[in-house]
Chain A
Amino acid sequence: MAKEELMNYEQALAQFEVVIGLEVHVELNTNTKMFCGCKNEFGNEPNTNVCPICIGLPGSLPAVNKRAIESSIRIGLALGCEIAPTGRFSRKQYFYPDLAKNFQTSQYDEPIAFEGALEVEVPSGNKFNVLIERAHMEEDAGKLTHVGGSTGRIQGAEYSLVDYNRAGVPLVEIVTKPVFGAGAEAPELAAAYVRSIRDIVRALDVSDARMERGNVRCDANVSLRLHGAEKLGTRTETKNVNSLRSIERAVRYEIQRQAAILAKGGSILQETRHWHEDRGITSSGRPKSDADDYRYFPEPDLVPVQPSREWIEELRATLPENPAERRKRLAADWGFSELEFRDVVNAGLLDQIEETVAAGAKPQAARKWWGGELSRIANDESKDVAELAITPAQVAELAGLIDAGKINDRLAREVLGFVLAGEGSPAEIVAARGLEVVSDDGALIAAIDAALAGQQDVLDAIREGRMQAAGAVIGAVMKAMKGSADAARVRELLIAKANA
Chain B
Amino acid sequence: MSEITPDLVRHLAGLARILVTDEEVDKFASQLSLIVDSVATVSKAVEGDVPATSHPIPMANVFREDVIEPSLTQGQALSGASDSADGRFRVHAILDED
Residues of A within 8 A of B (CB): 30-32, 36-39, 45-52, 55, 57, 63-69, 86, 88, 95-97, 144-146, 148, 154-164, 286, 290, 293, 295, 298, 300, 302-307
Contact = CB atoms under 8 A, between A and B. Distances in A.
A157 B93 contact: yes
Nearest to A58: B80
B66 A67 contact: yes
A32 B94 contact: no
B65 A159 contact: no
B59 interface: yes
Contact of A286 (B65, B71, B86, B95): B95
A158 B54 contact: no
A75 to B, nearest CB: 16
Contacts of B17: 95
A51 B61 contact: no
A354 B60 CA distance: 44
B88 A31 contact: no
23 contacts: A32-B66, A38-B69, A38-B71, A46-B87, A47-B77, A47-B78, A47-B88, A48-B73, A50-B71, A51-B69, A55-B77, A67-B65, A95-B17, A154-B94, A155-B95, A157-B94, A157-B95, A159-B91, A161-B88, A163-B88, A164-B89, A303-B55, A305-B60
Contacts of B64: 37, 63-66
Contacts of B94: 96-97, 144, 146, 154, 157, 160
B85 interface: yes
Given A38-B71, A95-B17, A161 B89 contact: yes
A161 B98 contact: no
A49 B69 CA distance: 10
Nearest to A100: B89
Contacts of A52: 72
Main secondary structure of the interface of B (DSSP, over half): loop
Interface of B: 14-15, 17, 54-55, 59-74, 77-78, 80, 85-95, 97-98
Contact of A48 (B60, B74, B89, B98): B74
Would you list the 5 A-B pairs with minimal beta carbon distance, nearest first?
A37-B69, A67-B66, A66-B63, A161-B88, A46-B87
Given A290-B15, A293-B15, 9 more contacts: A31-B68, A37-B67, A47-B88, A49-B71, A65-B66, A97-B89, A145-B88, A146-B94, A159-B90
A47 B15 CA distance: 28
Nearest to A305: B61
B68 A37 contact: yes
Contacts of B90: 159-162
B87 A45 contact: yes
A63 B65 CA distance: 10
B54 to A, nearest CB: 4
A300 B55 contact: yes
Given A30-B66, A161-B86, A290-B15, A50 B77 contact: yes
A50 B54 contact: no
A323 to B, nearest CB: 26
B86 A51 contact: no
B1 to A, nearest CB: 24
Contact of A97 (B59, B62, B66, B91): B91
B91 A160 contact: yes
Contact of A156 (B66, B69, B97): B97
Contacts of B97: 156
Nearest to A30: B66
A306 B60 contact: yes
A50 to B, nearest CB: 5
Contacts of A155: 95, 98
A108 B80 CA distance: 32
Contacts of A36: 69
Contacts of B85: 161
A63 B66 CA distance: 11
B74 A45 contact: yes
Contacts of A30: 66
Contacts of A49: 71
B95 A46 contact: no
A498 B90 CA distance: 90
Contacts of B67: 31-32, 37
A47 B74 contact: yes
A298 B56 CA distance: 13
Contacts of A162: 88-91
Nearest to A28: B66
A304 B54 CA distance: 10
A52 B77 CA distance: 8
A68 B67 CA distance: 12
A214 to B, nearest CB: 18
Nearest to B80: A57
Contacts of B68: 31-32, 37-39
A161 B59 CA distance: 39
B76 to A, nearest CB: 9
